[in-house]
């Protein structure tokens, strides 16, 4: 990892909404105020129905555990050996090379791979434009060498409810889910974007991004876990 940032806070036990931190980052980066992140309070149908539509991306914060690391390793090896459906070549995916930058990575992946509107000439709009045609590693280097993103990340990380930690090690990680066209023309796909993986991951046909992502999160991440450190947020119409 090139350097280490302060982890972004997204605390499901906090007495304020987690989207405050994510939206602080997004507004500084250039997301228009009419679009923002909001908490998804549960993964059952009635609670999903409360989420403002249309959902443009879903962001998940989850605890890294020996079990999750074993699943990640097995899945990466399976994809490497057997492949996966062809993915949309215009997907913007960035390899994570900065420790604790997964929050920023998740937000960039969510916004860059949706139709969320950015302010013209904003830092994120310029960054996404510069990413076009570059490899994931070149995009990572671009992120490393753009001090403004480190500053925005630090400001957002410092705006959380809890004090900035002196120990920057964390076992929490962000990933995100977006809808992407299928190059084969078979309809949109749910694609998971996680900078720690070997690339974008096809998660199957997309009929309703929020409902589909909720099922993936239940099946692939929560399962029988007893942890309370999961947090799900959606990118969509702002209700703040």
Per residue in 127-147, pLDDT (tens digit) is 999 999 999 999 999 988 877
Instruction: For residue 9, give the nearest of 132, 118, 18, 70 by alpha carbon.
Output: 18
Question: Active-site positions?
Answer: 102, 173
Six-digit token pair at 81?
Answer: 């050996």
What is the pLDDT at residue 11?
45
Helix (H, G, I), strand (E, B) or coil at 22: helix
Domain ranges of the chain: 19-237
Beta-carbon contacts of residue 203 (< 8 Å; ≥ 6 apart)? 177, 189, 190, 191, 192, 212, 216
Q: What Cα–Cα distance (Å) separates residue 39 from each residue in 22, 82, 88, 197, 222? A: 10, 36, 28, 25, 17
Residue range 60-69: mean pLDDT, rounded? 91
Say how far apart CA 74 and CA 14 lie, in whole Å. 34
pLDDT of residue 186: 86
87 contacts 181 by C-beta, under 8 angstroms? no
Whole-model pTM above 0.85? Answer: yes
- Residue 158 and residue 148: Cα distance in Å, rounded? 15
pLDDT at 199 over 70: yes
* Sign of the alpha-carbon torsion through 94, 95, 98, 103: positive
What is the CATH number assigned to the segment(s) 19-237?
Answer: 3.40.532.10
- The mean pLDDT of the chain is 84
- C-alpha 161/C-alpha 123 separation (Å) is 26
CA dihedral angle for residue 21, residue 26, residue 32, residue 34, rounded to 10 degrees: -30
Nearest alpha carbon to residue 9 among 111, 162, 196: 162
Confidence check: pLDDT of 1 > 60: no
pLDDT tens by residue, 18-41 = 667 888 888 888 999 899 999 999
């Amino acid at each position: 990892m090139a350097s280490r940032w302060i982890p972004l806070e997204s605390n499901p036990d906090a007495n304020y909404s987690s989207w405050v931190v994510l939206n602080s980052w997004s507004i500084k980066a250039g997301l228009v105020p009419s679009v923002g992140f909001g908490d998804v309070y549960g993964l059952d149908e009635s609670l999903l129905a409360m989420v403002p539509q249309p959902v443009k991306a879903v962001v998940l914060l989850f605890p890294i555990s020996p079990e999750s690391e074993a699943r990640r390793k097995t899945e990466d090896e399976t994809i490497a050996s057997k492949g996966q459906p062809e993915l949309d070549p215009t997907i913007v995916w960035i390899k994570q090379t900065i420790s604790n930058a997964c929050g920023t990575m998740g937000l960039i992946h969510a916004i860059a791979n949706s139709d969320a509107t950015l302010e013209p000439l904003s830092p994120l709009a310029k960054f996404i434009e510069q990413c076009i045609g570059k490899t994931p590693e070149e995009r990572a280097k671009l992120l490393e060498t753009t001090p403004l993103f480190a500053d925005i990340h630090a400001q957002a990380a410092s705006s959380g409810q809890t004090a900035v930690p002196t120990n920057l090690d964390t076992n929490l990680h962000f990933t995100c889910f977006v809808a992407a066209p299928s190059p084969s023309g078979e309809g949109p796909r749910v694609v998971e974007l996680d900078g720690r993986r070997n690339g974008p991951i096809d998660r199957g046909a997309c009929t309703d991004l929020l409902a589909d992502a909720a099922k993936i999160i239940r099946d692939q991440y929560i399962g029988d876990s007893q942890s309370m450190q999961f947090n799900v947020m959606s990118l969509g119409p702002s209700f703040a």
